[in-house]
Amino acid sequence: MAAMKITLLAVAAISAVLLGTASAATYGVGEPGGSWTLNTDYSNWVSNKKFHPGDEIVFKYSTPAHNVVEVSKAGYDSCSTDSAINTLTSGNDVVAINATGTRYFICGIPGHCSPTPPASMKRQLTPRNGRPFPHGGCPSVTHASHMAAALQKRAPPPPACRLRCSTLSALSSTHITTPPQPG
Using alpha carbons only, give the angle 22, 33, 38 rounded to the nearest 5 degrees: 105
How is the chain split into domains, by residue range?
5-169
Indicate the DSSP class of residue 142. Answer: G
Rg (CA), the chain: 16
Predicted confidence pLDDT, tens digits, the chain (183 residues): 444 554 333 333 333 333 334 578 999 998 887 788 888 888 788 888 888 899 999 999 999 999 999 999 999 888 999 999 999 999 999 999 998 888 989 999 988 887 754 332 223 333 344 444 344 443 333 333 333 333 333 343 332 222 211 222 222 333 333 345 555
> What per-residue confidence (pLDDT) applies to 172?
32
How far apart are the two ends of the chain, measured CA to CA in Å? 43
> What per-residue confidence (pLDDT) applies to 2?
42
CATH hierarchy code of domain 5-169? 2.60.40.420
Closest CA to 87 of 114, 60, 68, 107: 68
Contact yes or no for 171/1 (Cβ under 8 A): no
Helix (H) / strand (E) containing 32: none
